[in-house]
Amino acid sequence: MSKAAFAKDQLKSFINRIERLNEEREALSADIREVFAEAKGTGFDTKIMRQVIRMRKLDKADFQEQEAILDLYLTAMDMR
């Protein structure tokens, strides 16, 4: 097999894998939207849920820093 043929086959393989993963991602996104819709239907605030999910991704130090800055800003705005 020549290098050109190998590169062509390898490129096709990468493209096929990426396309398959994109399809899986779209399916997962649809599943996530359904879960949020279900949660909203039972009375949960999905904006807050998304915020909690973002915050859970942070390490402890970053979480505490964001929490402290938020508290500072809310206090400055007389909201605490």
pLDDT tens sequence across 6-17:
899 999 999 999
Mean pLDDT of the region 62-72: 95
Structure tokens at 80: 């605490």
What per-residue confidence (pLDDT) applies to 1? 64
Amino acid type, 40: K
Per-residue model confidence as pLDDT tens digits over 34-50 = 999 999 999 999 999 99
Q: Which two tokens stand for residue 49?
A: 């849920």
Query: Which two three-digit tokens encode residue 68?
Result: 């402290």
- Which of the pair, 25 or 5, is modelled with greater confidence? 25
Provide the whole-model pTM.
0.72
- Output the pLDDT for position 3: 82
